[in-house]
Structures are given as C-alpha cells and as structure tokens.
Structure 1
Amino acid sequence: MTQVQPKQPAARIESEQQALDVAQQLAQQFRAGAAQRDRERLLPDSELRQLFQSGLGAITVPRDYGGIALSTATLAAIVTTLSEADAAIGQVPQNHFYALEVLRVNGSDAQQRRLYGEVLAGVHLGNALAEFHSRAAHQRSTAIRDGHLNGTKFYATGALFADRIPTAARNEEDKEELVFVPRHQPGVTVTDDWSGFGQRTTGSGSVAFEQVPVAAEDRVPFQTAFERPTALGPFAQILHAAIDQGIARAAFNDMLDFLRQRARPWPDSGVERASDDPLTLDRTGRLAARLAAGDALLEQAGAAVDVAQHSPSEESVARASIEVAKARAWTTDIALEAGNLLFELAGSRASLREYNLDRHWRNARTHTLHDPVRWKYPAIGNYVLNGVLPPRRGTL
C-alpha cells in the first residue's frame, strides 16, 4: 500500500461560508492572469497548488471522515466562481470531486478513511478515464492483470498536476474499477499533448500505464455504481454545468467592461456611446436574465442531487439526473450565447491579442462538447411526457 503525501499540507475549511469566501479570494487572484495563461499556454501549476492547499479539495469529504460534506448546490456555486475567474482552473477539480464521490459510493471504510485522509491533507486527484480507440465513452480496454495496470488514456484533465490519478480499468473478472494510482511511480507516463483551441491550460493530456503495480487497497469498484441507483452520474454532470455557467459569466462581465470603456456605436446610430444603444441594452438585459436562470437551475439541481445522495432510489436518482440535465442543457446554451454576444457587441477588437476575450467563446465551444446537449433534451422530454427514467451513466 502506497501512502501519498501532498506537496504541501492543506488548510482545513470548517464551514460552508468559509468555503465560499476562500473560493472568492482565490478567484480574484486567478482572474488577474487568466488571459495571459490562455494566450501563452502557461499551465496553472502554482494556482492549482494554491487551490488544493486552501482546503477546497476536501469540502465534499463526509463528516464522519473529518470533512464538512458541502451541499452540492454550494459546490456548484464554488466551481462556477472558479470557472468565471479561469475556466481551465475551474475544470480541473471536477474529476477530483468525481473520484471522491466514487469513493463515497463504493469504497470500503478502510479505503475511505485512508484516501479521505490524504485529500484532507491536500492530495489532488486527477483522472484517466477516456480512451482513444474505444467505440464509446463507457467502453475501455485499460486492464489489470496479475496485479499490474496497462493501458493508455487521453483527455486526462488534471493528471499532469495530480498526486494520484484515479483510473478506470477492467479487472480480472472484466468488471470496471477505479484505481487510485499514485502519480509518481515507475510505469506511469503523463504527456502534455493537449492542443485544444479552448480550455488550453487544463493539462488534459495523455496517460500511459506500463506494468504499473496496483495495490488492492487502491482499487475501488466503479461499474457497480451504475448498476444500482446512485447519484454519481448527476453529481458529475452538475459540476460540468457549473463550469459552463462560469464561462458564461466571464464572457458577460468582460463584455460589460468592454462596452463601458472601449466600444463605439455604429455611425449615425443617434447615440454617443454603445452602452446607450437600445439594441445593445435589449440583448444585454436578455442575457442577464438567462444567466440568473442558470444560477437558479443549478441550485434546484443541486438540491435534487443531495436528496439522491442521502436517499438513493430509482426515482430520486432519475429526478436528480433530469434536474441536472435541465441545468446542463441551459448552461451549454448560455455559455455559447454569451461568447457569441461578446463578439457581436464588442466587435472584432474583442479577439485582439491584448484583450484575448475570444478565449471565452473558445472555452465554451470546447467544454460544452464534453457531453453534447443533444443527449439531454430527449431524456428530459421522455421523462416528463412518458415517465421513462433516464439511463444511469456518467454522462447524464
């Protein structure tokens, strides 16, 4: 059994309000360098160390294991805040919290006590789930044989920065497990080969495992979390919705600042400032209302996830999936709308290198592809119209 130590010990967060305050403080710091990090692809190593040393990485740890078991709605609000400051930084902890939820749902008491203890100390969990050559996202060839892990992953967001890399792998019985692999050990190779035009600094590269020994204590059942009703799928999805909401807010706020300070109205428009143009005011007001609706949908979905976590059943998990699907579909639309409107109202100057405001559209266009919105609306409609429960999976 390998015990992993964080790079530096973490602070302990004791309350929901403290968690919100710490997130706001960090967001203010992260916002200052976000445009430059995206423009020059400067990976946020020090910023992520700050994030996990702050104690925010442990806010979902159950109370019985020393955490504060933060509500899902508040967690989503924190992810929104971080994503508004820097969408790449906001995305990195998503898989960390997802792995902690797998641990809560399927881990043994001994595994929970040990791994939660590491996270309370400041350990950062990355991920290695997706694979290039599988026909579908849930089909994976990475395998454990004779106590050793072999396989190759991609879209491994956060693995480059992590202390452990929770990895989806097939065991000897062809059942899927989540293996909490220590990042720094022989046979583990993390390659910084992510070249997306958005979310450029998430470190979403590739991970290769070659005859990596895995301890039984680091192997947590994974597949069974979807064979029975659990909140794992909607929990994962609400954090993605929160990332999109943060991207939308960043685009909206930068648009407001640009219009107030730099933009000029159309010639012969009859107004002296773009901020007085009635068409601009109309579009701005509409998006402001839609952003507020996104916050409300996230809060409503978070409450449904909490119910499904505390009282899991076919119906409570289905309702959580549907409420989260509503929020995810909505925030997908407004993230893209906000990026588009920024260009429409600010003009081509928004993409100038000195401003780099086009990163919001690029981030939205990239991240919203994670689980296409076209999967969400039919599931919502089938549930509302026909009472058909949605499938249990990590993408809904």
Structure 2
Amino acid sequence: MSIPEASSAASPLPRLPDPARVRRIADDAQALASAHALAAQFAAGAAERDRQRLLPWAELNLWSESGLGAITVPREYGGADVSFATLAEVFVILCAADPALGQIPQNHFGVLGVLREIGTPAQKARLYGEVLAGRRLGNAGPERRSASAATVLQGTTRLVRTPDGLRLDGQRFYSTGALFAHRVPTRATDDDGRAVQVWVPRDAPGLTVIDDWSSFGQRTTASGTVTFEQVPVDPQDVLPIWQLADRPGLFGPNSQLIQAAIDQGIAQAAVADALAFVRGHARPWVDSGLERASDDPYIIADVGRLQIDLHAAHEVLLEAGRTLDLLAAQTLDAEGSAAASVAVAEAKVLTTRIALDASEKLFELAGSASTRAAHNLDRHWRNARTHTLHDPVRWKLHLLGNYHLNHVLPARHSWN
C-alpha cells in the first residue's frame, strides 16, 4: 500500500469551537479523567491515521471540547491551574494512545507558559479567555539557518514598524500544531533588535501554513512550514520574550517536561503492544521445548528489564513535575530555575532511552511476524526515533554533568 505524501498546498483554516460545547475542567482529577476518556477514543484509529497520514481534525475538535486546552490557565482567570505533574501525566496518557496526535498540543502549553510569565494582565485576560473557549495555539517553529548568519540563533523573522502599523515577515519550519491552530505564535526580532513572541491569528492576511511535513515518524503532527508576508500585527499580540533571558522562570522546564512525557507515552505503547503480541502471536524458539513464547525465560527476563526501565522513567518524570510544582510555589531565583531544568533533563534522558529501547526490543521479543505491515508496529520506533531527536540527549547529559561537577547553571530557553 502506498503512503500518501504531505501536501505542499496552503491548508484550510480550522473551525472555531462552539464555546457552549467546551467543557470547563475544574481540577487535576477531572483533567486526568478527560485525558483517559479521549485516549480511549484516539487509540482506536491511531495505527490507521499513521498508515494513511490522516490528519486528526475531528479528534482535535474533541480535544478542544474536552477542555484540556485550558487546564494550565490560572484559577484567577477561570482555569484549573493543574500541577506540572498532572500536565505531564496528561501527555503520557494521550501519547500512549497516539503520540502524533498527543504531541500536537505541546506548543499550546509551551506558549501558555510564556504568557504566564511575561504577559500583561490585559493580555492574559484576553488570551486565556480564548483558550477557555476551546481555541488552540500552535507555533511557528525555528528558522533554517541563513547563509549570512553565524549561528542558528540569528533569525531573520522581523517585526517592523511601518506607517500602517506593525508588520511581520519571515519563514519558519518544525511548526507543530500550527496547521490546526487558531493562533500561531512565533519568535521574531523587533526594530530594537530584541526577541519578541507574536501571537498571530490563524486567519491573518499574509499568514500561510503549508502542510509539507514528510517525516517517517510522528507523521500526523503536520510540523511543516509557516510563512509570514507583511502580516499586520496588533501590538497587544506581542510578548517581550527578550525579558525571559534575565529572569528566572519555568517556561523552559515546562516545555521540556512535556517533551519527556511524549516519549514516555511512546514507550508505554510499545511495551504494551510487545506484551500483547508475545502473548497472542509469537512462537517459541525451536530449541526452547516450550509451547508458548510467553514461557521463554529469556523473553521473561527482557520483559522484566523493560518494565523496570519504564517504571523508573515514569517516576522520574513525575518527580520532575513535582519539583516544578514546589518551585512554582516559591519566589523563584536563579538556583531554583536551574534546579527545574536539571530535574527535567534527568527525566528526558530516561524517557528517551526507554522509548527507543522499548520500540526496538518489541520486535526482538515478538519475532519476525511482528514486522508485517498489517500490524504497523514499526510506528512505535519511527515515532520514538523522530521525536527523541527534538532535544539531543547528549546535551542533556552535558547539562547534568556541568551542573553537578562545575555548578554551571543551564541557559534559560525553551530547550532547557
């Protein structure tokens, strides 16, 4: 069966959710219950969506109506303000069902973390209100390196003052969630050379989202290209993210916690499918003298090791979430901000390793029959390999070693 390629055409606008159908989640328990309910619906079609690259428009409408998009909105603005540990677990639950669909809201919560730290009260009231009404936030991701730039950090996306008001120009890629979003925040440089984040409405003239994502994994995240051509910008839609570099905060650890949770979900799905296949389909090795593969002592031992690693990664992930919760309840200083990044880096290393190990070990345990295209079990490895490239583990190890050995505090940005 041929696999359809991503379209290079500009994509349709997402429909606005009916606010009357959007649930208002009140607390952590309701958030987890809603995640489990959605996961049960998402899991059924996950393999086929991956096989055919069927974009999850209907599923995302259900996500909006579930109210999960507003679970981190502060209580004073009408949200549930759930714990970081709960946010991580919500992503684990959804990504165990369908990690591509589960990844799509990652930037939604990432930019909400930025809004919490540097938004004005007026910006928070307006933008949180949109989220409470079920609107989704995407992200226009990083730029390709310009030939004239010394490093990848020197972007060319510009927000400039003109006689007609602010205008935005640039091209971004790896824009997970932008295709399905009602607002597309992006990073730009203003006339003063400072980094800003511009929350562009999806229907703004000059904004184009191109569905040209063609990765072999996480196939339906639609993490393609976004272009801005003389896009008019309301000054009230601009956040001064240049301020975050000099201010201790949790926006980076929050973003990384979500990334680690996505990998944990992939790992849990791979282990679950491995166990099911060994029990129901795998044949014992000819020299074992056994009737069932599930009685093979070597398979049993490998399953035991996988379960230990899976459990350890999950517990360290939740511990990292709880660390962020403790720090968020305090006046945050540079040491606290660093401790948050360190805690999440530890989780990211373990969830990356178990996602890759579990998705590869699946085939060794389940045998050659598990490689048949009809089962589509290779999606677990493809998803794990693709998503774990998001933040190189080698740099997480460097961060941890440099912190513990030399007490060098991690840089403050969305990747720490």
Shorter-normalised TM range: over 0.9
TM-score normalised according to structure 1 size? 0.97
**Structure 2 portions without partners, runs of 5+:** 1-13
Q: Is the aligned partner of 1:33 residue 2:45?
A: yes
Q: Is the aligned partner of 1:7 residue 2:17?
A: yes
* Among 256, 261, 267, the residue aligned to 1:237: 256
| Between 191-200 and 221-230, the greater mean CA deviation after superposition | 221-230
Cα contact 2:270–2:358 (8 A) shared by 1? yes
Cα contact 1:76–1:238 (8 A) shared by 2? yes
In the other structure, the counterpart of 2:333 is: 313
Q: Is the aligned partner of 1:170 residue 2:180?
A: no
**In the TM superposition, what whole-angstrom CA distance separates every residue of 1:61-118 from its partner, at most 9, and x where no partner exists?**
0011111111001100000000000001111111000010100001000000000000
In the other structure, the counterpart of 1:141 is: 156
Off by >6 Å, runs of 4+ in structure 1: none
Q: Is the aligned partner of 1:157 residue 2:176?
A: yes
CA distance in 1, matches of 2:54, 2:151: 32
In the other structure, the counterpart of 2:311 is: 292
Q: Following TM superposition, by how much is the alpha carbon of 1:266 offset from its aligned partner in structure 2, in angstroms?
A: 1.2
Cα contact 1:30–1:86 (8 A) shared by 2? yes
* Among 91, 103, 106, the residue aligned to 1:94: 106
Cα contact 1:5–1:123 (8 A) shared by 2? no
**Structure 1 portions without partners, runs of 5+:** none
TM-score normalised according to structure 2 size? 0.92
Q: Is the aligned partner of 1:282 residue 2:301?
A: yes
CA distance in 2, matches of 1:101, 1:255: 36
Q: Is the aligned partner of 1:252 residue 2:271?
A: yes
CA distance in 1, matches of 2:102, 2:261: 9
In the other structure, the counterpart of 1:122 is: 134
Residues 118, 240 of structure 1: CA spacing in aligned structure 2 closer, same or farther, 3 A cutoff?
same
Q: Secondary structure at the match of 1:250?
A: helix
Residues 136, 56 of structure 1: CA spacing in aligned structure 2 closer, same or farther, 3 A cutoff?
farther
- The root-mean-square deviation of aligned C-alpha atoms, in Å, is 1.3
Q: Secondary structure at the match of 1:268?
A: helix
Matches within 5 A, 1:368-379: 368-379=388-399
CA distance in 2, matches of 1:280, 1:5: 49
Q: Following TM superposition, by how much is the alpha carbon of 1:136 offset from its aligned partner in structure 2, in angstroms?
A: 4.9
Cα contact 2:211–2:225 (8 A) shared by 1? yes
User: Alignment length, in residue pairs?
Assistant: 393
Residues 388, 43 of structure 1: CA spacing in aligned structure 2 closer, same or farther, 3 A cutoff?
same
Q: Secondary structure at the match of 1:155?
A: coil
Q: Is the aligned partner of 1:106 residue 2:118?
A: yes
Q: Is the aligned partner of 1:215 residue 2:234?
A: yes
Q: Following TM superposition, by how much is the alpha carbon of 1:337 offset from its aligned partner in structure 2, in angstroms?
A: 0.2
Cα contact 2:141–2:176 (8 A) shared by 1? no
Q: Is the aligned partner of 1:354 residue 2:364?
A: no
Residues 339, 54 of structure 1: CA spacing in aligned structure 2 closer, same or farther, 3 A cutoff?
same
* Among 186, 190, 199, the residue aligned to 2:205: 186
CA distance in 2, matches of 1:76, 1:298: 8
Identity score, percent: 54
Q: Following TM superposition, by how much is the alpha carbon of 1:183 offset from its aligned partner in structure 2, in angstroms?
A: 0.5
Q: Secondary structure at the match of 2:319?
A: helix
In the other structure, the counterpart of 2:291 is: 272
CA distance in 1, matches of 2:292, 2:238: 61
Cα contact 1:230–1:308 (8 A) shared by 2? no
CA distance in 2, matches of 1:99, 1:6: 19
CA distance in 1, matches of 2:101, 2:53: 13
CA distance in 2, matches of 1:108, 1:277: 61
Cα contact 2:71–2:80 (8 A) shared by 1? yes
| Between 239-248 and 268-277, the greater mean CA deviation after superposition | 268-277
CA distance in 2, matches of 1:176, 1:228: 14
Residues 5, 173 of structure 1: CA spacing in aligned structure 2 closer, same or farther, 3 A cutoff?
farther
For 1:327, the aligned partner's letter is A
Q: Following TM superposition, by how much is the alpha carbon of 1:388 offset from its aligned partner in structure 2, in angstroms?
A: 2.1
Matches within 5 A, 1:305-344: 305-310=324-329, 311-344=331-364
Residues 280, 5 of structure 1: CA spacing in aligned structure 2 closer, same or farther, 3 A cutoff?
closer
Q: Secondary structure at the match of 1:223?
A: helix
Q: Following TM superposition, by how much is the alpha carbon of 1:139 offset from its aligned partner in structure 2, in angstroms?
A: 3.2
Cα contact 1:241–1:327 (8 A) shared by 2? yes
CA distance in 2, matches of 1:125, 1:44: 15
